[in-house]
Structure 1
Amino acid sequence: MEDVVQKIHEGSTLWKVRGVNKWFHRHYKVDIDNMSLVGESKKWWSPGGGTGSDGPENAVPLIEITEVREGWKTDTFNKVSSHSEKTKDKAAAGDEPSLEENKCFSIIHGPGGREVLDLVAATEDERDAWVSGLTHLVQSVKALHEEKQYDVWLRQQFEEADKDNNGSLNFNECCTLLKQLNIKMDKTHAKKLFNQANTSKQKRDGDQVLEVGEFVNFYHALLKMPEIEKLFKKHASEKTQLMSADQLCAFLHKEQGLIDLDESQATKLIHEFEISDLKDQGYMTQDGFYHMLLSDMFDIFNHEHKSKVHQDMTQPLAHYYISSSHNTYLTGHQLAGESSVEGYISALKRGCRLLELDLWDGDEGEPIIYHGHTLTTKITLADVLRDGIKAYAFEASPYPVILSIENHLSVEQQKVMVQLLKDILGDMLATDPVSEDITAVPSPEALKNKIIIRGKKPQGSEVESDDDDDDQDAIDYIDSDDGAAQTKKKPHKPLAPELREIINVCEGKKFTTFHDAFENYKCVHTPSLGETKAKGLIESSPDDFIRFTERHVTKVYPLGTRTDSSNLKPYPFWSVGCQIVALNMQTEDKANFYGDALFTTNANCGYVLKPDIILKKVPYDPTDLSDRYTKIVRVTVLSGQHLPNSAKKGDIVDPYVQVKVRGHPLDKQKQRTKVIKNNGFNPVWNEALELSIKV
């Protein structure tokens, strides 16, 4: 592996592919010191004969790389390879690039893995070297202690601040960089720490300067937290200023309430978090103690719940909240955004278990996916199934994936769709018919590693209206004068027998009234409710709604007017037991924050067991809350560190902490600490907040 790493450190010239007509010849290499991938700008080539320049290439930190894929496994490669196949351009002559799958690879990076760098090597061996070498380095960087990862990032900030590339920064340059990192400091104190960090005693133009390693030490010295120092001194040896396993055990019992933790487990913590060689002697320094307390293990959130499925997974599917995405294929706007396989990959990687497929007849005789009657781009069902769903369905969770089919296909292409599902997904596809006698849908445990098809099975002369669709076409709203979609009756599309056969445990069903549903629904019937309709049912019949969702998986989807891919608030629908609240996962907002918070409680496996009151296992009337279940939650906010500036408010940071409760309307409340003026560096509140929660 050393030879491979050396090879990609020296670099090679690759083709960067951005589309059918644009290929860029670039020299790429891995900067080992800064753990980043860098590329030098060179000319581009296109099959049409054009050339040009694409500007300089930005460095990609290895810590931000989420995946290195071999072959044609991205939207760009799928389009380019398809075009090349049609034009017989796959093997070009001379200097022109050769698009052979065994020479292609892709680097997925950036926040949420949303950036893709598609590259073509000169040979298969060169491609393999890049794939194996990058994968090894990325895994190595991510395996580093959290502090070491942060140090790599700090080194990158230092390199960017070193404008004249002399490898050092003086005090004023350090202060400028620290200000950019939102470190506000007392300059006298900072100067003292700066001088202490300058162990090499280097000078430039008469001023003391710090090398990159010294700057990292200077930065960490500035970030010492007084309250943690105080805790450490209280429990560590006064003589050695070190903490032994038995002293750490005493701290964890007394201060953290971890009374079941024994000395051997404390020793393991020392080995995990202590950076110095003292861990081999069974001692923890203040730095190790600091990193332990700021680790995920000591997060306010239960670490075991984040890392391990701990709930009963053998109850009927209807007893669980299900992590669900809306228009999974879209990466942006609902009317003119990009449709992408990456939308499915990203959703599956974060534990999402319900994906939407909006299917339309394709010109090539195979189904395509896009947001119908809009300007969104189109992708093929085959690419989504092969490169997205089959490859990633069970990477983050073994529990069942539900494919919610929005069927706009002709009978002929429905048959093609079913054949693609069977050919590509194989044994993953749940095809067994369900008994007419079952009274509850199977459990997540029983459906492990299975992919379920959710779709409608209209009978005879049934008609459906636009609001039966899981997603009313956004164009319907634009065409109406008042911005409200017109409900139009239309005959149901004929359903291919082959498709009817593979819809089993999740059969879409039109909702009319709770009375009708209680009388006529089978347990496998799963209605879809628009945001407005579902809100109305919560207001008029919350108890019936809870009773209904105890047995039936119910989906709620956003209004078609949300063309900007904004989201509904999910918690009102969760509070009446709705299992599937579909969210635009490409949008970073509060709704997805709430979703992440909920599903983290069961290791992000995509299923969270509903509470007993929602499952009617204990008496509960959502319209009449007594004090029977009231709990008092007390949160003590101690301090903060390195808080970011608000882009809206300029450079001054006046931080406070706000704790909110969201769920039942009567529980909606918030408490906040006092404001700490002009201190985003190390504010201290030490303030207790108290919240009364009825449900």
Structure 2
Amino acid sequence: MGEPQIAPGLATEAVPGQKAAMSDITVPAILQHGTPMTKVSVSRQKPVTLRLDADQGQILYDTKKHRIIPIESIKELRSGSESRYYREQFQLTQELEERWLTIIYICEGRYKTVHVVAPTKDIFRMWDNTLRKLYAIRQEIMSGLGSPEMREALWERQYWKGSDEENDQRLEFENVEKLCKRLNVNSSREDLERLFKQSDVNKQGYLNFEDFQRFVRLLKFRPELDRLYKCICSLNGGTFNFATFDHFMRTSQKSTLSEAEHQKIFVRYATVPERDRPLPPIPPTVETSIPVAVAVNPVPSQSTSTPAPSLPASAPSAIVSTAPTPLAADSTATLVSDGVLTLDGFTSFLSSPDNSAFTDQNGKIWHDMTRPISEYFISSSHNTYLVGHQLVGVSTVEGYIRALLHGCRSVELDIYDGENGPVVYHGKTLTSKVPVRDICQAISRYAFVASPYPVIISAEVHCSLPQQEMMTDIMKEVFGDALVSAPIDGRPKITQLPSPEDLRGRILVKAKNLYVTEHEGVQEKDVTLDTESSSTDVSSSEDVITDVRSEIQELKADLKDLRPNFRGLKSDLRKAKEAMSRVAKSSRPSSVAPTTPRAVTPTPAKDPKAKTKTKMSLSLVSLLVYTVGVKCRGINKKEEYAPEHVFSLSENTMNKILKQGMMDLIKHNRSHLVRIYPKGTRLNSTNYEPHRYWSAGAQLVALNWQTFDLGYMINHAMFQRNGRSGYVLKPKALREYNKEMLGKRTKHFLDVTIISAQQLPRPKDASGREIIDKNIIDPYVEVSVHIPDWTHSPFLPDASVKAYSPASGPSAINATSARTITYKTGVVKNNGFNPVWEDMLSFPFDCVGDMKDLVFVSFAVKQEDKEHDGPLAVYCASLGSLNQGFRHLPLHDAQLSQYLFSTLFVEIGIRDA
């Protein structure tokens, strides 16, 4: 076959500020032209040609339809032994493993998986290495660490390639019109012709790549930033020098950095006026570009309250002079004394990591990790094995892999007897089963990829003694030294839980145990396992009836909306009714938890209705060191629990405790772990709002990670913090149990000005292609503040003009109620490219113990008259990590995957009432 042709990476000089590492990326020409591969599924193998469109950042292949996988929609790449689980499932030979590539991505809001086998090891290595590098670029940009220049270069390459249909390095006016339609730019033909001619500096009648760069800079001109820039300058003598910048940082941005630190930031974006020069153009050789991924979806338009911003008649000079002349290190003093920020320099600063919207979301571990583990909120999942419905869903190792790769630190296993060993599935339901060994192998492989801190396995053990022994042996074999089976460092009796740092790289097992001796080891007597669990919790009969009716109504609504899948959904409905009939029966007081014949031990009790207890293996007891599950006997001064004792509470039980008062629970949670789990009647795997339980100090607030709802979004926002490590230090008031602090209630206003959005996304079809139709959407922004329901009444100022209403009460299909207040901006008509609102919203909220970490703000960009379609883009953050001032917020799709180019420009402020 010979040596593959290599297309060189984009030169560093072409994009000032771009990291050198990015310039080293090469894209083999053979991948661009396409390579034969074998596509593998559970039912068959068939040949396909896989092609990499580097500039548009897409993988393309043909089946019955022309399929597209945007690189930024990829969630994971697995190769070699990492994909062994699938190869073994498909019963294929091990010889294929060294050429196997699995691509997991999201399309139409669902996880999709493509398995391909390369014809040779060399072809495999080219695909594997190139895709991982391109994926890393996009992840770096989306994490906020990539430079604005790199982002701009990727954008230009992607849309240039997508517009140059003839691949002749030129864009005719018709191509430009199509591009603007794709970008949701709703301007007149006359305006576009004027900008086209203005960009065609050589009067060629078409745009080459340099001309195209000029055109998009005119197109992207942001009048709202121009107004802001001029306003700042007018308040400071008409110039944006260092003194102006320092004042802006302290007053508008509420910066607490020193003057020296402000100087370091200023010199990165400042220029000495006489040294300004135009930006060196990127060479228009498409083959040499860094590949770009399109993450575009729905599209917006122009305002009812604000006129549609027209395209500028001419570009300000700053738009075409973005690159400052590089200065030597000893010239820093010159920049500080003589330098200024041009409009472009100011724009670059506002969208850079130096002006991040977040205090601790840049990938670094910020929090002290040496405190006892009970002093942290811990990212936790419920029924981790499920990827769908609670009654008829699929159990798979994928749930564990996805959760662990997103920083989850507590996963759940419901373990039952299987034909060939213990299996995991949702008891009393029709969900499928997965061997415990497969799940342990997945946990072992992925436990510490996203975070080095400990993983807690919450095991609900319903299997017989022999299979408990098998389960323990499997865990010891698979996890090896990582499994905690004795106190660390040979420490004596536990008086305080270890820290996340102490347990770095370790795996802990939590299971219920009704008897723990005061000394090491277990006495010579039966140790029994409580059969209550999150998998069998069904609340009261009355709750069941109410919640089941709500679930059935929701399923019926699904049937109406999704007629193509009528038969499947109708089957789901029938199965749900059958399963819930069994669940309702099991909720009666006289019910007995099902057990396996081998596991049943007659209980010598006089009460014939007494529950049957299942013996517990002593080898399993040996694994319960710092996380010993016990039955909750109440939370008060009379009851004492050892530091390692953990109990699990359903949301129903927790809600009753919260109504009775939180102080005893907060005190208990200062030194003990408590796990909260969703009630059993959340059949569609909906979630509660976790912050109401965090406010009581609960650490392990478990959610259904397969459901992307409000509860999941708040959980995601919390654990984006602290380097996405899955551990977030609790607020001081909860860690110290300071009654004076916990009794302090303050009242505030969150002031949010929604200024503008940039390049709102377009939806994609099932093939991964953008849906481009004649409809130009009319976007608006809905902002909500989510406040824990403190023991106080909600704060609502008397003078407030806008109505305040708490969320509706809890039900099976709605999140548990906490305080929520929501306002909307006006609508911008016919503009999905750069809508400008400049609407100010003011939200009253109260805070207990200065715990702003537990107050969340969410943003949803929606379409007028299409609210039922769901939001175009969303974002959510904790007020404890949200910086004030002018910030660009990254936007995500409904599954919280970040868009590559879409942002929301806002001004944020918090003031005391």
Task: Report the TM-score range of the alignment, normalised by the length of the smaller protein.
Answer: 0.7 to 0.9
What's the CA shift for 1:595?
0.9
Asked whether the equivalents of residues 645 and 653 of structure 1 are also in contact (C-alpha less than 8 Å), the reply is no
In structure 2, the partner of 1:513 is 634
Is 2:706 the counterpart of 1:586?
A: yes
Matched, 1:452 2:520: no
Deviations 1:550-583 (A, max 9, x none): 2221111112222212111212211111111111
Q: Secondary structure at the match of 1:615?
A: helix
* 2:88 paired residue number: 81
Contact 1:653–1:679 at 8 Å: present in 2 too? yes
Q: Is the 8 A contact 1:531 1:556 kept in 2?
A: yes
Equivalence map 1:336-351=2 (5 Å): 336-351=392-407
> Which of 672, 676, 681 is equivalent to 2:823?
672
Matched residue of 1:30: which SS? strand
Alpha-carbon distance change, 309 to 83 in structure 1, aligned in 2, over 3 angstroms: closer
Task: Say yes or no: does 1:601 pair with 2:721.
Answer: yes
Q: Tell me the equivalent position of 2:748.
A: 632
Query: Is the aligned partner of 1:394 residue 2:448?
Result: yes
SS in structure 2 at match of 1:108:
strand
1:684 aligns with 2:837: yes
Query: In 2, distance between residues paired with 1:113 and 1:654?
Result: 24
Task: Decide whether aligned partners of structure 1 residues 109 and 291 sit closer, same or farther in structure 2, where only a CA change above 3 A counts.
Answer: farther
| Pair 1:79–1:148, CA change in 2 (3 A) | closer
2: CA distance, partners of 1:152 / 1:331 = 34
- Answer with 305-314 or 194-203: which moved more: 194-203
Deviations 1:85-130 (A, max 9, x none): xxxx638xxxxxxx53222222333379943321212233332232
RMSD after superposition? 3.9
- Is the CA contact 1:565–1:587 (under 8 Å) kept in the aligned structure 2? yes
Give the superposition deviation at 1:409.
2.7
> Whole-Å Cα distance in 1 between the matches of residues 463 and 715 of structure 2?
32
Quote the residue 1:289 is aligned against. Answer: 346
Matched, 1:327 2:363: no
Corresponding position of 2:617: 496
Cα shift readout 1:39-65 (whole Å, capped 9, x = no counterpart)? 2x3xxxxxxxxxxxx413422233333
User: How far 1:325 moved relative to its partner?
Assistant: 0.9
Q: 1:96 matched to which residue of 2?
A: none
Partner of residue 479 from structure 1, selected from 581, 587, 605: 581
Give the Cα–Cα distance (whole angstroms) in 2 for the partners of residues 130 and 305 of structure 1: 31
Q: 1:305: how far off?
A: 5.0
Instruction: Tell me which amino acid in the other structure corresponds to 1:78.
Output: Y
Residue 519 of structure 1: SS of its match in structure 2?
Answer: coil
Q: With structure 1 as the length reference, what TM-score do the two structures score? A: 0.82
2:682 aligned with 1:562: yes
Q: Which moved more, 1:111-120 or 1:350-359?
A: 111-120
Q: CA deviation at 1:358?
A: 2.3
Matches within 5 A, 1:613-624: 613-619=733-739
In structure 1, the residue corresponding to 2:614 is in which secondary structure?
A: coil
Q: 1:34 aligns with which of 40, 50, 56?
A: 56
User: Are the structure 2 counterparts of residues 65 and 370 from structure 1 closer, same or farther at C-alpha, using a change threshold of 3 Å?
Assistant: same
Pairwise CA distance, 1:148: 4.2
CA distance in 1, matches of 2:713, 2:265: 33
8 A Cα contact 1:646 1:653, kept in partner = no
1:300 equivalenced with 2:326 (yes/no): no
1:482 positional shift: 5.8
Please point out which of 370, 379, 386 is paired with 2:425: 370
Counterpart-to-counterpart distance in 2, 1:154 and 1:65: 21
1:263 corresponds to: 263
Of residues 93, 102, 106 in structure 2, which corresponds to 1:106?
102
Offset from partner CA, 1:259-314 (integer Å, 9 cap, x none): 5124234334669xx99552524776534432331245424322x45432222222
Aligned in 2, Cα 1:438/1:69: closer, same or farther, shift over 3 Å?
same
Which residue is equivalent to 1:278? 324
Is the contact between residue 825 and residue 837 of structure 2 (CA under 8 Å) also seen in structure 1?
no
Q: Which stretch shifts more, 226-235 or 324-333?
A: 226-235
Amino acid at match of 1:554: V
Q: What secondary structure does 1:527 align onto?
A: strand
Q: State whether structure 2 residue 79 is matched by structure 1 residue 70.
A: yes
1:58 equivalent in alignment to 2:60: no
Q: Work out the CA distance in 2 between the residues paired with 1:593 and 1:296.
A: 23
Code of the residue aligned with 1:18 in structure 2: it is: S
For the residues of structure 1 that align with 2:440 and 2:583, how far apart are their CA atoms? 39
In the TM superposition, what whole-angstrom CA distance separates every residue of 1:597-644 from its partner, at most 9, and x where no partner exists? 22233232211222233335322597xx6xx44142442415012475
Matching of residue 131 in structure 1 with residue 115 in structure 2: no
| Contact preservation (8 Å) 1:155, 1:216 | no
The 5-angstrom pairing of residues 90-239 of structure 1 reads 90=93, 99-110=95-106, 114-140=111-137, 142=139, 145-146=147-148, 148-149=150-151, 152=154, 156=158, 174-175=176-177, 177-185=179-187, 188-199=190-201, 201=203, 203=205, 217-233=214-230
What SS is found at the alignment partner of 1:416?
A: helix
Tell me what 1:206 maps to.
none
Q: Distance in 2 between matches of 1:199 and 1:80?
A: 57
- Segment of structure 1 superposing worse, 322-331 or 174-183: 174-183
CA spacing shift, 1:556–1:213, aligned 2, 3 Å: farther
Measure, in 2, the Cα distance between the counterparts of 1:270 and 1:645: 32
Look up the match of 2:572. Answer: none
Q: Could you tell me how far apart the structure 2 residues matched to 1:360 and 1:475 are?
A: 23
CA 1:586–1:475: 2 relative to 1, 3 Å? same
2:87–2:97 CA contact under 8 A, matched in 1: no
Counterpart residue identity of residue 479, structure 1:
S
Give unmatched runs, 5+ long, in structure 1: 42-53, 92-98, 204-208
Q: Give the superposition deviation at 1:355.
A: 1.0
Q: How far off is 1:192 after superposition?
A: 2.7
- Superposed displacement of residue 322, structure 1: 0.8
Structure 1 residue 508: deviation in Å? 1.2
Q: In structure 2, what is the equivalent of residue 46 of structure 1? A: none
2:457 corresponds in structure 1 to 403
User: Cα gap change, 1:8/1:673 in structure 2, threshold over 3 Å: closer, same or farther?
Assistant: closer
CA contact (8 A) 2:752 2:841 kept: yes
Query: CA, structure 1 residues 485+390, in 2 after alignment: closer, same or farther (shift >3 Å)?
Result: same
Q: Deviations over 1:436-479 (max 9, x none)?
A: 84332212122112111111224466776664345648999602
Q: Distance in 1 between matches of 2:620 and 2:119?
A: 44
With CA pairs under 8 Å and 6+ residues apart, which has the higher RCO, 1 or 2?
Answer: 2
Distance 1:35 1:242 in 2: 41
Residue type of the alignment partner of 1:290: T
Residue 9 of structure 1 corresponds to which residue in structure 2? Answer: 32
Amino acid at match of 2:324: L
Distance 2:211 2:325 in 1: 24
Q: Which runs of 5 or more residues in structure 2 are unaligned?
A: 7-25, 141-145, 272-278, 281-321, 328-334, 516-524, 539-575, 594-611, 764-774, 795-818, 849-913
Shift of 1:500: 1.1
CA deviation map 1:203-244 (0-9, x unaligned): 5xxxxx65677556534423322232234456789xxx9977
Distance 1:288 1:34, change over 3 A: farther
> For 1:167-191, what per-residue CA distance to the aligned partner results, in whole angstroms no more than 9, with x for missing partners?
7766566556545544444665444
The CA deviation string for residues 404-436 of structure 1, in whole angstroms up to 9 with x for no partner, is 112233323322322222222222212214878
* Counterparts in 2 of 1:616 and 1:455: CA distance versus 1, 3 Å: same
Cα contact 2:667–2:737 (8 A) shared by 1: no
The TM-score, its normalising length taken from structure 2, stands at 0.63
The secondary structure found in structure 1 opposite 2:821 is strand
Cα offset for 1:348? 1.6
